[in-house]
Amino acid sequence: MTVKTDAAPADALGAIIRSRTIVDLSVIVDQFYPAFQQESQEFLMVPTHMPGPGGLGYRGPMYETIMIHDDHTGTHCDAPAHQVPPVESGLPNAGPMGKVTLEQLDPRHMMGPACVIDCTDLLAEVDRSVRRSPVITREKVEAWEQQHGQLREGDVVLFRTTWTELYYKQFPEGLQFTRHHPAPNGRTIEHLVERGIKLVGLDTLGIGMFQDDYEPHVVAGHAGMIVVEKLTNLSQLPPRGAFFIFLPWKVKRASGGLGRAIAIV
C-alpha cells in the first residue's frame, strides 16, 4: 500500500488502519470467568436500573453498573510500583520506581512493533502436581532474535503460550486457569531491559513464575518496564509485522489497570 507523503497524519494513519486487520487481544471480564489468585478480589458487577426520571426529573430510563474488582483483573498492565516498594519504606526490593503508579505511565511506551515469541513448546513441561512454571529463558529470546532480527528499543515483546486460549474460559472450565503457565525469569527480563524494551506482554495469568513470582516483576519494575498480562489471540499475530497498542484507564495511585489491547496486522 502507498500512502501519499503530503497527506495529513490523521488521513495517512486512517488509510493504513482501514487497510489492515484489527485483532482484539483482550480477554472478557465477567463474574463467571477467572479473576486472579485466591487472595485477590473477585470481579463483582451489580446492575443498577432506573426505569424512569429520577428525583431531579431528567435521568432515565438508563442502565448502569457498579463494579468491584482488583486492578489486575482481565487484560491489564502492571505499573512499576506493583512489586517495587518506595525507597523510604525500608522493604525488600525497594527503589525509586516504587512511586511510579498507573497514572504516571507514558502512553508512548504502551504501543509499538510487536515481536511475538512462540513459547508453546513449554506447555509440554507443565506439571500441575508441583508448584513450578516452565521457564521462558534468555536463550529462547536470543534464538528468536537469530531468526527474526535483534530486538530494538521501541519494540513490544509478546510471549505467546496460548494459555488464555486454552484455559481462560467460563466456569467450571475456567477453574483450570492456574499459576502453572510458562513465565520468564529475571535473567530473561534483564535481557529485554538491555535491548531497551519498555513493554512486555504475555497471554498468561501473569509474568511471575509459580516458583518465584517476585523475580521477573521486580527486575521489570526497577527498569520502569510496563507489563501487560492476560492477553489472548496472540496466535493470530506474526513473529514480526503487527503493531501493538494497549491503553489502560488512568487511576491515580493504582498498581495496575484494566485496558483494551489490540494489534494492527
Strand partners, 49: 63
pLDDT digits (tens, 9 = 90+) for 140-176: 999 999 999 999 999 999 999 999 999 999 999 887 7
The closest of 217, 165, 211 to 24, measured between CA atoms, is 165
Query: Which of helix, strand or coil describes residue 89?
Result: helix
End-to-end CA distance of the chain: 13
Cell of 28: 472478557
- Specify the pTM: 0.92
Residue pair 83/217 in contact by the 8 Å Cβ criterion: yes
Looking at per-residue pLDDT, the higher value among 6 and 51 belongs to 51
Q: What is the dihedral of CA 131, 128, 31, 212, to 10 degrees?
A: 20
Question: Domains of the chain by range and CATH?
Answer: 9-38+70-264 (3.50.30.50)
At residue 64, the pLDDT reads 86
Pairwise CA distance, residues 88 & 255, whole Å: 18
